[in-house]
Structure formats: structure tokens, C-alpha cells
A and B are shown apart, each in its own frame.
Chain A
Amino acid sequence: MKFKSFLNNLLLNLTWIMLLIPVSGQAQAMDFLRSTGKIYTVVVVIAIIFIGLAIYLIRLDNKLTKLENHIKNEQ
């Protein structure tokens, strides 16, 4: 549950940050991703895959912990 509330907080904060970034800041971020032959686009793509796999594994981990607790309680 602690982890869940941490995730919720993180999402909330990220939403605020996104809302507070001025348009020029966003344009700067876009320019950065286009610099050096758009290499940072590749970095973002790899990051998406890595973060996605991490989220899937964290969820599996949580489900396993729950099952372990169930089994422990039964014994």
C-alpha cells in the first residue's frame, strides 16, 4: 500500500510539473531531442522499453508478495 501511495504522489507531482512547464520550456525540450542528429529520440525509445518492462516486473513482484502472504497466513 505504501508503494501505491508513493506512485500516486509521483503521478500527481508529474502532472503538476507538466502543467507548470511553460510552452517555451516544451519547445526547448523538443529542440534538445532534435539535437545531434536526433540521437536523444533513440534514448527516449530505449527508456520507454526499459521503464515499461520495469513496471510489468514491479506489478508481478507485488502479486507474488500478495500470494506469499496468503500462503503464509494459511499455514
Chain B
Amino acid sequence: MIQKGMWWKLSGIILFLYVLWGGMTIPLRPGITSINPSSAKTGDTIELKATGYNTHFASVRNGRAWLKLDSVHAIKALTWQAKNDNELTFRFILPQTLPNATEVFPLHLIIDNETDGAFVHPNALFLSSSTDTLSFDAIPWTKHELGQFNDHQGIQFPYRSILNETIRNTFFHVALWFAMFLLLIFGVVYSIRYLSTSDYEFDRKASAYTNIAVLYGIFGILTGSVWAKFTWNTFWTNDVKLNMTAIALLIYLAYIILRGMNYDQDKRARLAAIYNIFAFIALIPLVFVIPRMTDSLHPGNGGNPALGGEDLDHTLRMFFYPSILALFLIGKWIAELTIRFERVKDHFYLKKS
């Protein structure tokens, strides 16, 4: 039943199923969604209410929490009162004095227990001085040692505030762009081969690969738009990466129109091949160079780290790279079907005329 040359098509499907299964079932690491209050004065005793996500506050025995300033300055929570698994109240007694002469201190909340492991909510509480006196004392801040943290158990994706579960879109939205770029490389290579051999087969291949790549690009724009609505709160921002990609897509749409025109096949193929090479050359600065030169919301642009840190850790990589390969193989498969269709069509009409 399985024909020759079927293995890569099947592996594309199996890889995509693997990505869907893993990408949708593996839980996120625990995290804090909100903190109340968010500011305090020195000398206060505060009841800090934290709302967690994927946390097990009520069912742990050894729960600890700190408000941390830096690696040596921290205050430990006195009590740990869990209302349920996701709601927690602790009491902190803030020292009378600030450790040094800075006006406002952003404190990070660290929570640690044996089930969830240790996790951080950055800039949880802003602390300012309650008096105008300029006295600084670091000693009350260094009494509480942070000690040993627990590790979380099993494979979990990173928890990022705002992103939350949508970090899984890395496997679909981001991988789609990578697969698109691979398909465009195939397209431009076939265009070059057409120019050097004048074999219509290469023209058909170049056109089919570029078509599916443009389709992926359109999916990329649409999925990115949906993702942006729920993280950046707008369907379209004036982010450079968005605008430059839109321009690149328009350049490629012109290729499709050019290739679809109905005139002399030889002229059409030659023109389309040359245009495709220019479009590819234009794509590289538009997508890879210009967004890096200014500020951008996208990772990897304007000083943001790309493919590193918590945006893409080893658990995400386990599904991100297979996803690129899967989407590429599915795209190649569809391109192959288009090529076979075009081949039959060309043969039929050439025979007739």
C-alpha cells in the first residue's frame, strides 16, 4: 500500500502529530498571574495576596516565599496561608530602612515548594521609603538566606506572563515562518536551475514551491495577528517586522500574478525565474536585516534575544525544530501535488496545440 517515495510524506504527518500531541498536552510551569498590593512603604507589615497558575499552594507541606532585591538582599515570608491551590496569602514584615540610596526598589517574589519547584515573579512589589530621613541599613535585609531551592518535576514549558499558554504558538506561528523560508529557498534554487537549463520542469517546481511558501506566509500573518490580539492587544501594530513582512509578501504576490499570466510559455518562465531571484534577494534585508536595526516587539530584533533564554528553552526546542521539519515536509508534499498537476496540464495543452 505504501508507495515508493512515501516515507517523507508520512514522516511529515507523524512529526506534525507529535508536535500537536506534545505541544498541546505538556503543562506550563507554575507562575504568578497577579499580586495584591503592588507597592508598599518601609516598616509596613503587609499581607501579600498572590494568584497562581498551575500551582499547588494548598497541597504542599514545605512552602516558602521571599521578596528579593538582589542576590544578597531578601526578606522571607513569615506565614504561608493557602486558600486553595491557586490563591495564597503571606505576611511580610518590611524592614524600617532601605538597604541603600535608591528611591524605589522593585522586589521580585520567589516562591518555592516541593511540588512546583522554585519560580519568580519579577517586579512583584515596589518598595519606597516611609520617611524622608536618609538612613540606610542593609543588615535587616541580609538576615534571611535564600537557601536551597526545589526543582520542578517533569517536562514543562516556561511560564511567561502575558504570553501564558500562547507560548505554544512557537510551534505553529514561528515554525510556519521558518518552513516558509525553507520552501522559498527551494523555489529560488529551482528558478536558478531553470535559467541555466531552460527546462520547464524547473519552472513548474519553482512556481509550486513559491506558491506554497506564500500561502504559509499568509497563514503566518493571520496567525500572528490572532496571537498579537491576545498578547499585544491589537491585530496589527506598526512593528517593523510586521510591515516589512507584509511588503515581502506583496513582492511575492506579484510573482504569482506574473507567473499566472497567459502568454508565451518561454518568456513567462524566464521572466518569472528572474523576478523570483530578485524577490528572494529583496526578502533577506526586509525580513532579516531591517527589523534588527530598530526596535521591535519580536524576539531576535531590536536588542531582544532570539532563540534563547526563556523564550526558547530546551523543552520548547523538543517540539519547535520537529515542527519546522513537519510543516516543511507537508508544504513540500503539497508543492509536489501542484507540480504533478501542472505537468499533466502542460503536456495535455502542448499536445493539443
Contacts and interface: CB of A to CB of B under 8 A. Distances in A.
Interface of A: 33-34, 36-39, 41-42, 44-46, 48-49, 52-53, 56-57, 60, 63-64, 67, 70-71, 74
A51 B352 CA distance: 36
A14 to B, nearest CB: 16
Interface of B: 20, 24, 28, 53, 163-166, 168-169, 172-173, 176, 212, 215, 218-219, 222-223, 226-227, 229-231, 330, 334, 337-338, 341, 344-345, 348, 352
A42 B215 contact: no
B230 A41 contact: yes
Secondary structure dominating the interface of B: helix
B226 A60 contact: no
Given A48-B222, A53-B334, A42 B165 contact: yes
Interface centre among A39, A46, A63, A67 (most CB of B within 10 A): A46
A64 B345 CA distance: 9
B227 A41 contact: yes
Contacts of A71: 348
Given A44-B226, A45-B227, A48-B223, A60 B338 contact: yes
Contact of B169 (A37, A41, A74): A41
Contacts of A49: 172, 176, 219, 223
A70 B348 CA distance: 9
30 contacts: A33-B230, A34-B230, A38-B164, A38-B165, A38-B166, A38-B230, A39-B168, A41-B226, A41-B227, A41-B229, A42-B24, A42-B165, A42-B168, A42-B169, A42-B172, A45-B169, A45-B172, A46-B20, A48-B226, A49-B223, A52-B218, A52-B219, A56-B212, A56-B334, A57-B334, A60-B334, A60-B338, A60-B341, A67-B341, A67-B348
Given A38-B166, A41-B227, A60-B341, 20 more contacts: A37-B164, A37-B165, A38-B164, A38-B231, A41-B165, A42-B165, A42-B168, A42-B172, A45-B169, A45-B173, A48-B219, A49-B172, A49-B219, A52-B222, A53-B215, A56-B215, A60-B338, A63-B341, A71-B348, A74-B352
Given A38-B164, A67-B345, A67-B348, A45 B226 contact: yes
A3 B344 CA distance: 24
A49 B212 CA distance: 12
Contacts of B176: 49
A41 B337 contact: no
A53 B330 contact: yes
